[in-house]
Structure 1
């Protein structure tokens, strides 16, 4: 999932350099959404892993 964030970020940066405002904004928005989703899933994974380790 982090790879997709980097891909959309690269698209946004390249589009911003060439002045394609709509494409850059959309790609940056998608990258932000996927990044936040990745962070939430990472935190949930850490919490579940910590809970599982304390029960053993």
Structure 2
């Protein structure tokens, strides 16, 4: 999911630099949403100890 957020962020940055405002805004919103979802899931995994099956 973090990879998708990075892809949308790159699309938003490139579109913003080239002046395509109609493309940059939705990509920016999607990248931001996916980043915060990933961050929340990561924090929950740390709190619950998920992935610590070593």
TM exceeding 0.5: yes
Which protein has the larger Cα radius of gyration, Structure 1 or Structure 2? 1
* Larger relative helix fraction: 1
Gaps of 5+ in 1: none
Question: Residue 39 of structure 2 corresponds to which residue in structure 1?
Answer: 39
Gaps of 5+ in 2: none
**What is the TM-score of this pair, normalised by structure 1?**
0.85
Aligned residues: 51
Pairwise CA RMSD: 1.5
